[in-house]
Amino acid sequence: MTDALAIRHLSHAYGARKALDDVSFTVAPGSFTVLLGLNGAGKSTLFSLVTRLYAARQGQIEIFGADVMRSPGAALRRLGVVFQARTLDLELSLMQNLVYHAALHGIGPFEARRLGQEALTRAGLAERANDKARALSGGQMRRIEIARALLHKPRLLLLDEPTVGLDIKARADILAHVRGLVRDEGLGVLWTTHLIDEIDPEDQVVILHKGKALATGRAREIVAQSGAAEIGAAFAKITGADVERISA
Ligand SMILES: Nc1ncnc2c1ncn2[C@@H]1O[C@H](COP(=O)(O)OP(=O)(O)OP(=O)(O)O)[C@@H](O)[C@H]1O
């Protein structure tokens, strides 16, 4: 089966500082893969390379077999992204936010409204179509951003620390929502976080530390191989970093 995302020997430096150093891992279609790393691990750099904000000069990135450098159109069509920073226009209605985004993907106004309605329903906010984004809670805004990222029906969704700034309940809701999309719609998801409590034992995990992928595999396998009792202790053992910083 073709990987939803394949990262091979990816490196990136800002001047002399290496932000990513020979990173390789894959995300299978219909899987929930967690990219776990502390601040500065290189997660945002990786996102910038996958989305072509930066050109990948060393290594290869493929989305469903399409190389992002050589076939950007085919690769990016299958990709949806939720960035860490909030990106809704607060003065526009939810539907307007969705329709304008659809236009960026070349979707006409009629189809955009249909997809927008579908997206709002999926986000559980169908009744709020005409409310301004400003009126939403942080968790609801995230749901709309996720729905918007899925408007063009990508098969791979990247989320960069999507629960940052949310309270415990909203965090759990967003996590459950995205896990539901993986389960029910077969979406491939790469979820970056610095919080171990967002990881299930069966999740695929990539531990990124100081630009290096130090461990990849199922969470329970990484725990077993490290000889630790749970994933937090395994992370601390593998990276030598302080476990406090990855606890919620
Ligand atoms: N534009 C830049 N110029 C120089 N150095 C950078 C730049 N962006 C990131 N870095 C450095 O590259 C390394 C990786 O940063 P990156 O932002 O990718 O990590 P991160 O895991 O996303 O952390 P955070 O969650 O804090 O953004 C860090 O050492 C950071 O200081």
- The Cα–Cα gap between 114 and 116 comes to 5
What ipTM does this complex have?
A: 0.94
Distance from the CA of 81 to the center of ligand 1, in angstroms? Answer: 18
Distance from the CA of 192 to the center of ligand 1, in angstroms? Answer: 14
pTM comes to: 0.93
CA 20 to ligand 1: nearest atom: 14
pLDDT tens by residue, 96-127:
999 999 988 888 999 999 999 999 998 899 99
Alpha helices in the chain (DSSP H): 43-50, 72-77, 94-104, 109-122, 138-149, 168-185, 219-226, 231-239
pLDDT tens by residue, 119-138:
999 889 999 999 999 999 99
Question: What b/e string do you get for 126-146 counting C-beta neighbours within 10 Å, with b at 16 or more?
Answer: eebbeebbeebebbbbbbbbb
Answer whether 36's CB lies under 8 Å from 193's CB: yes
Tokens of 67: 């190389």
C-beta 192 within 6 A of ligand 1: no
Q: What is the CA radius of gyration of the chain?
A: 18
